[in-house]
Amino acid sequence: MELDRLARLQAELVAHGCDAGLFYDPNNIRYATGTSNMDVYVLHIPCRYVFVPAEGPVTLFDFKSCEHLSEGHPAVGETREAVNWFHFFTGSRTEEYAARWAAEIVDLLGAGRGSGHGSKRLAVDRLDPYGLRALERLDVEVVDGGEIANLARVIKSDAEIAAMRVALAACERAIGAMEAALDPGITEQELWAEMHRTAIAEGGGWFETRLLTSGPRTNPWFQECSDRVIRDGDLVAFDTDHIGVGGYGVDISRTWLAGDARPTTEQRTMYGAAYEQVQRNIEMLRPGMTFAEVSERAHRPPGDLHFPPGNAVVLHGLGVSNEYPLVLNRELFGSDGYPGVVEPGMVLCVESLVAPAGRPEAVKLEEQVLITETGAEVLSAYPFSKALLD
């Protein structure tokens, strides 16, 4: 699987006329090499990167004394110590360290490890002004590596799908632990900690958000968990946003009813609308559909429940993290959408957020699906709320 992913990334570099790619995003590093190291730290401290030539062996630049972490990973040809130039490490010597870093990168570009046409065209996914200036002084043309990595990651192999099923199963066990702990009197943060604990025990990575809210904090959406005490009869909504086992993302959402109270008519109406939206949009998906067709044909909740800013996303891609494509609803697609086609091998997350303005609560649901030759196969298996569907 690791060698197959590397081959796809290198093919994309060739297609974009690049001699090599330089990747700092830990998700891209893992995709290219199969390795990981202090990924959350690396997200904001750029102390780990990988040089991927269009042809030939990969050079992984790792944190000091971490060479042992790449042992057994066939995609890694060589490991070196990273050269860092952010202020925490270099203080007033930042420019000097950036120049040292750039010289090593240019040496790799000129070592016959690129496409062989003698140019210096380098795709980089993340770079600050010091690094960009240092490369440009050495006549390197820097292009966007984020696009190249995203396009390489779009289609999943059978091995990747198998890995994603493992990550999903582990995360869903963590969701089950959280649901088992849901009793009135627990705080949102305490409840979220149950899923976090189990997911880490299962071998998962990190959570990119802490989107779990209850009662009146569910609407508006996009609030992270707090010390609010969950009460009997509250809706509790969450989004996993989890980088799980093997580095693969798990992005599903559920909404539950806390305690023994009967759901209100409004709660059941909103839940039913969200459930119908997700199910009908999964049934609609077919390979060959354009993103514009998906947006136009996507089912929406009834008018009094549909709130376009809250229902902005119809679906998005998923792999080692959230990734291309992103398909917006029809109100936004004309101004903010982009062209593309649904293809077999894509893994997509189909979303619904029923959060009408002025209402006391909201419902968030999301399913993870695989596009096949004939339609969409649901990968996520965690059950929906019987209390809210009945």
Question: Quick one: 182 and 125 in the same domain?
Answer: no
Domain that residue 54 falls in:
2-152
pLDDT of residue 310: 67
Decide: residue 358, CB within 10 A, 0-12 exposed, 13-18 middle, 19+ buried: exposed
pLDDT of residue 116: 44
Residue after which a domain boundary falls, among 125, 152, 179: 152
Question: Quick one: 194 and 335 in the same domain?
Answer: yes
How many angstroms separate the most distant Cα atoms in the chain? 71
Question: Quick one: 121 and 194 in the same domain?
Answer: no
Residue after which a domain boundary falls, among 127, 152, 177: 152
Q: Let me know: does 149 contact 9? Beta carbons within 8 Å.
A: yes
Question: Quick one: 195 and 305 in the same domain?
Answer: yes
* Total domains in the fold of the chain: 2
Burial 229-252 (b: 16+ CB within 10 A, else e): ebeebbbbbbbbbbbbbbbbbbbb
Read off the pTM. 0.94
Q: What parts of the chain have a pLDDT lower than 50? A: 112-117
**DSSP code string of 260-296:** SPPPPHHHHHHHHHHHHHHHHHHHH--TT-BHHHHHH
Q: Indicate which CATH number applies to the domain containing 39.
A: 3.40.350.10
Instruction: Note the pLDDT tens digit of each residue in 52-77.
Output: 999 999 999 999 888 898 999 999 99
Q: Indicate which CATH number applies to the domain containing 187.
A: 3.90.230.10
Question: Quick one: 129 and 217 in the same domain?
Answer: no
Question: Quick one: 246 and 99 in the same domain?
Answer: no
Question: Quick one: 163 and 148 in the same domain?
Answer: no
